[in-house]
């Protein structure tokens, strides 16, 4: 399979809670990106982290990267119902996507 591994596959939380999603990969990377996909729609770029960075912030998003463990995590703080979507990590020039985490934020 082209895809890496993401966990959890599904996550259900209450509004206001934090959501953490993890992504693991097998080959070395120059950067890793996170995308969001609302139900049945196209993907939207959220944040990029380069291989020489360990942590990056954008608004309520925090991404970490551990190249020694070949893993990344996406943290969404103070979640909102509008954050309900599938979240994917993607790497490489061809953008190889993970299987994604389906996040449900209940009001």
φ, ψ of residue 39 in degrees (nearest 5):
-50, 120
Least distance CB 62 / other proteins (angstroms): 19
Q: Give the bridge partners for 97, in sequence order.
A: 90
Per-residue contact track with other proteins, 36 to 75, x per CB under 8 A? Answer: ----xxxxxx--x---------------------------
Retrieve residue 42's tokens: 């196209």
Q: With respect to other proteins, which residue has the nearer C-beta, 40 or 107?
A: 40
Using the rule CB under 8 A, which residue among 2, 27, 52, 68 binds other proteins? 2
In this structure, what DSSP letter does residue 50 have?
E
In sequence order, what E strands does the chain have?
5-7, 10-14, 19-24, 31-37, 43-50, 55-58, 61-66, 71-76, 85-91, 96-97, 101-106
Using the rule CB under 8 A, which residue among 52, 68, 69, 94 binds other proteins? 94
Query: By CB under 8 A, is residue 96 in contact with other proteins?
Result: yes
Q: Where does this chain bind other proteins (CB under 8 A)?
A: 2-3, 6, 31, 33, 35, 40-45, 48, 88, 90, 94-100, 102
């Amino acid at each position: 399979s082209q895809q890496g591994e993401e966990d959890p596959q599904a996550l259900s939380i209450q509004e206001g809670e934090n959501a953490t999603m993890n992504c693991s990969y097998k080959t070395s990377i120059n950067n890793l990106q996170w995308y969001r996909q609302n139900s049945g729609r196209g993907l939207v770029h959220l944040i990029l982290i380069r291989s020489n960075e360990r942590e990056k912030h954008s608004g309520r998003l925090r991404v970490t990267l551990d190249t020694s463990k070949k893993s990344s995590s996406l943290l969404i703080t103070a979640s909102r119902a509008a954050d309900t979507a599938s979240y994917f990590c993607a790497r490489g020039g061809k953008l190889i996507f993970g299987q994604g985490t389906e996040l449900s934020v209940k009001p």
